[in-house]
Structure 1
Amino acid sequence: MSRMPMLCPETACEQGAPTLKAIRGQLGMLPNFFAGLANHGAALNGYLAFEESLSEHSRLTAAQREMISLAIANANGCHYCVSGHTLSAKHVGVDAEAARQAQQGQATDPVDQAILDFALDVLEQRGHLPDESLNAARQMGLDDAALVEITSWVGLNSYSNWVNNLIQPKIDFPEVPLID
């Protein structure tokens, strides 16, 4: 049972209600993450605006973004997000084994591995990366714009992980376990 109310368009504030209605219309359901985040309508709308802007202007593939999401969710201990992003990853062509590997910060493609290494370094070091980490990422072809974008995905995903860890919503996707 979640530790905060799961809101719907009928119970959310005037900022959150239209957003929840749009999400339900787009997805055919209202994921509990959004229903919980709607406890503060501006937080819901701000999260979605940031995610939309990053996605719209991303230089990373959808699969790379989902692999980052899986690695960060697992590192942050967010069972809800690991489950949700495993499903999302499947929809963009990441198979179950690659999703499990991504949870552990591993990828078969060298560039994808460099992305995951950098993302996890950003999380673990809270952005205080040594020059060696930047140089290693750059040597794999990641330019400064990509490094800032990856850092942005780490921040956005960590935010959603923390909200879910706080609220503890019921997982409304096929459950996928965290990996130690």
Structure 2
Amino acid sequence: MTTINVPTRDQVSPANQALFDTLKQGLGMVPNLYATLALSEHALGNYLAFQNAKSSLNGKAREVVNLVVSQVNNCQYCLSAHTVIGGMVGFKPEQILEIRRGGASFDAKLDALAKLVKNIATERGHADPARVQAFFDAGWTQENLVDTIVVIGDKTVTNYLHGTTKVPVDFPAAPALTN
């Protein structure tokens, strides 16, 4: 089996080296999954532009999407990273676990989002119309729906990249879900 090695700054293109420098300045590190994207001349820059694009979803809503999709796709890297980020945006550890299960009983609007995202992710984009209606009934808009699907796509990219490359997780391990 071919091992995918996480490249160092010296092993990537000058354009990607500049992105590494920006990431290190902002995050204090270059996460392994981002570094792996730099194996491509264009993937890291394209992904960062996609991930950091303007959205009608706030940070908490984006983390709900990230956590639910990463759980559906069983991506240990993204679950670990977004458990940390979820805490940074204000979710408590027990709330993060609930979100990963596809709900958020502590907030009706986020609950509708989590349930819809889980449905979209498990059904590979073929959402149950009742879930979509419940999302709208909770106060979300059509713009929010489109932006939710964009964030699902964003997270699916990194979930699939880790699922395929199995690069080392460089965040504290996300706790296992128990039912």
Q: Which residue of 2 aligns with 1:71?
A: 68
* Distance (Å, rounded) in 1 between the aligned partners of 2:155 and 2:32: 16
Q: Which 4+ residue blocks in structure 1 deviate beyond 3 angstroms?
A: none
5-14 vs 71-80, which moves further: 5-14
- Count of residues in Structure 1 that have an aligned counterpart in Structure 2: 176
Aligned to 1:81: 78
Provide, for residues 22-80 of structure 1, a one-character-per-residue CA deviation record: whole Å limited to 9, x for no partner: 11122121111111111113111111001111xxx322221221121111111101001
Q: TM-score, structure 2 length as denominator?
A: 0.91
CA distance in 2, matches of 1:131, 1:26: 40
Amino acid of the structure 2 residue aligned with 1:68: V
Structure 1 window deviating more from structure 2 (9-18 vs 41-50): it is: 9-18
Hey, what does 1:59 align to over in structure 2? 56
Output the CA distance in 1 between the equivalents of 2:168 and 2:102: 25
Indicate whether 1:25 and 2:33 are aligned.
Answer: no
Matched, 1:41 2:38: no
Residue aligning to 1:166: 164
2:130 pairs with 1:132:
yes
For normalisation by structure 1, the TM-score amounts to: 0.90
Give me the whole-angstrom Cα distance separating, in 2, the residues matched to 1:130 and 1:72: 16
Q: Structure 2: state its 5+ residue gaps.
A: none
Q: Equivalent residue for 2:115?
A: 117
What SS does structure 2 have at the residue aligned with 1:152? Answer: helix
Structure 2 equivalent of residue 103 of structure 1 = 100
Amino acid across the alignment from 2:71: N
